A and B are shown apart, each in its own frame.
Chain A
């Protein structure tokens, strides 16, 4: 299956399952129903690189 992707798309993946053993880390017991949900909102990455005084900033303003 092919998907066209664009900014603002929301992808939700759900997994529902029964725990097969106790797990203290997850605080679940054997037989408990667990729902895993992944929600991804497509969006452009924020530019967070900062100019460094005297550094290599591309425009060679030092």
Chain B
């Protein structure tokens, strides 16, 4: 527990100079200090709120409806990365899965592979994989 907190704190202090927008990133965006960037990817969407509510999915999705979820409040950062060609969603999610596990996060969702979004969500890309993570402890300040 303590180790995770210290590791997170160190991360925050060591990385601010690295948190700059890369070429191709959408204006005003930057990486989150707690989430690494997949090599070669660019930020195509970015939103940050000092205090907001977000939905934490905890179960499978049935179309646009989640079987189980809880609202969480706090500082919310939403990022969308476009990954270089030739990299599958599975490869990307496995990279993050391994990294987050190593950083002390635990998975809240068992990792269902939901089917593609139903007709109500035709405008969205089909979802391939989803994982939800949460730290064991983890003040990052």
Residues of chain A whose beta carbon lies under 8 Å from any beta carbon of chain B: 1, 3, 5, 7-20, 26-28, 31-43, 45-46
Contact of A1 among B51, B68, B131, B140 (CB under 8 A): B68
**Contact B126–A18 (Cβ < 8 Å):** yes
How far is it, in angstroms, between the C-alpha of A40 and the C-alpha of B41 when the chains are bound? 21
Most buried by A among B56, B72, B77, B138: B72
14 A-B pairs in the complex with CB atoms less than 8 angstroms apart = A3-B56, A10-B135, A11-B54, A13-B132, A14-B93, A14-B96, A17-B126, A18-B89, A31-B85, A33-B89, A35-B89, A35-B96, A38-B79, A39-B76
Which residues on the A side are within 8 Å of B130 (C-beta)? Answer: 13-16
**Contact A3–B51 (Cβ < 8 Å):** no
Determine whether B32 belongs to the interface, using a CB cutoff of 8 Å to chain A: yes
How far is it, in angstroms, between the C-alpha of A41 and the C-alpha of B126 when the chains are bound? 27
Contact of A32 among B38, B75, B85 (CB under 8 A): B85
How far is it, in angstroms, between the C-alpha of A17 and the C-alpha of B56 when the chains are bound? 18
Determine whether B118 belongs to the interface, using a CB cutoff of 8 Å to chain A: no
Residues of chain B whose beta carbon lies under 8 Å from any beta carbon of chain A: 8, 32, 34-35, 38, 41, 44-45, 50-51, 54, 56-59, 68, 70, 72-83, 85, 87-90, 92-93, 96, 100, 105, 108, 125-135, 137-141
Which residues on the A side are within 8 Å of B141 (C-beta)? Answer: 8
**Contact A43–B100 (Cβ < 8 Å):** no
Nearest chain B residue, comparing its CB with the CB of A43: B74
In order of increasing CB-CB distance, the 4 nearest A-B pairs are: A8-B139, A16-B89, A33-B83, A42-B74
**Contact B133–A12 (Cβ < 8 Å):** yes
**Contact B56–A11 (Cβ < 8 Å):** yes
Which residues on the B side are within 8 Å of A7 (C-beta)? Answer: 139
